[in-house]
Structure 1
């Protein structure tokens, strides 16, 4: 079992212990806050992200008694909470994407990843991509970005969004098709993946 798998497998027992000793929940925060922060910042920008991330962990803390301990990893649960909270910020997200579309500058990606030939080639289509992402229906954008930027599997997205696996697959396939058409045949997941963020 990898170090990451051991860490994730520990979430349920940590949450269970936190029901008796609330301070233990800080372990869940320390483990997952950096990834949740990058994901939310990537979607909403710095200003709204701080509030959403804080509210995500506050909501998780308050709902920890209802957490299903059969789910050893809290990742999908936390991404689901964050995604639900971001629904209040749809305009902010679309504004963020439109800003990247206009300027071609994505300060979040630049600050969290190293440049490579593949990244530079992806940036060449960044403006069109940002506009195409902004035009996607919210549910399709959520599913696609949880995979591409959150690093979740389709099954984890299903859990995070509380929707059927088939719905996740359908939304992602439709989003990919729309983005591929907008990007002139470029694979949209290769373009928007944030592999350095998932290290």
Structure 2
């Protein structure tokens, strides 16, 4: 993931502010972040849902642009907060997919349904055991882990996106680490995030 520089953050906030009087200006924000948000949703829900959810995210952001407050975080974090709310609408379906993936396994023979379920999560990054465990995590813990693992967000950006204290992000990641200890990929994702968060 490419980190957003402070200069870009300032330009983003300025673009949102300018879009209040010139709505076409919001297109700059859309152009800058749509692909990133779409990739995040695709990894969470699959490419079919990503088209709709990413578009709805930007429609919601456009409608709520007057409420954006740069003192509370970056435009990028604000967009991830909005997309997290939209993904939550798919929450029950997502949990069912994780559980189905766990039952189907990734090593067995492929059938149409198992292939579709495997496409809904990034099978290259989330293995069978992790997928099953993700379905069992409390929603808040799962959101923090997936924003870090799939969205590449820092602690500060996750806190801003979810509207939770910075320390809560670390607490939730620690709780996830304890619950998922020994599962492939989990320790690596959390360690990578902690190194980048400094």
TM-score normalised by L of structure 1? 0.79
Rounded to whole Å, the distance in 1 between the matches of 2:178 and 2:73 is 33
Rounded to whole Å, the distance in 1 between the matches of 2:149 and 2:170 is 13
Mapping 1:159-170, distance limit 5 Å: 159-170=160-171
Identify if the C-alpha distance between structure 1 residues 100 and 3 changes in structure 2 by more than 3 Å, giving closer, same or farther: closer
Q: 1:129, CA displacement in angstroms?
A: 0.8
1:53-111 deviation per Cα after TM superposition (whole angstroms, max 9, x unaligned): 1111111101111111336731110000111122211112113323433242644647x
Q: 1:26, CA displacement in angstroms?
A: 0.8
Q: 1:175, CA displacement in angstroms?
A: 1.0
Q: Does 1:57 align with 2:58?
A: yes
2:110 corresponds to: none
Q: List runs of 5+ in structure 1 lacking aligned partners.
A: 111-118
Q: Does 1:45 align with 2:43?
A: no
Q: 1:139, CA displacement in angstroms?
A: 0.6
2:94 corresponds to: 93
The alignment partner of 1:59 has SS state of helix
1:148 corresponds to: 149
RMSD over equivalenced CA pairs, Å: 2.7
The alignment partner of 1:70 has SS state of helix
Identify if the C-alpha distance between structure 1 residues 3 and 138 changes in structure 2 by more than 3 Å, giving closer, same or farther: closer
1:97-141 deviation per Cα after TM superposition (whole angstroms, max 9, x unaligned): 23433242644647xxxxxxxx7xx66xx1111111111111100
Identify if the C-alpha distance between structure 1 residues 194 and 96 changes in structure 2 by more than 3 Å, giving closer, same or farther: farther
2:178 corresponds to: 177
Q: 1:22, CA displacement in angstroms?
A: 0.3
Mapping 1:101-120, distance limit 5 Å: 101=102, 102-104=104-106, 106-107=118-119, 109=122
1:115 corresponds to: none
Contact 1:8/1:72 (CA < 8 Å) preserved in 2? Answer: no
Q: 1:4, CA displacement in angstroms?
A: 4.1
The alignment partner of 2:164 has SS state of coil
Rounded to whole Å, the distance in 2 between the matches of 1:193 and 1:37 is 25
Rounded to whole Å, the distance in 1 between the matches of 2:171 and 2:70 is 29
Q: 1:37, CA displacement in angstroms?
A: 0.9
Rounded to whole Å, the distance in 1 between the matches of 2:47 and 2:96 is 13
Identify if the C-alpha distance between structure 1 residues 72 and 87 changes in structure 2 by more than 3 Å, giving closer, same or farther: closer
Name which of structure 1's ranges 154-163 and 71-80 shifts more when overlaid on structure 2: 71-80
The alignment partner of 1:15 has SS state of helix
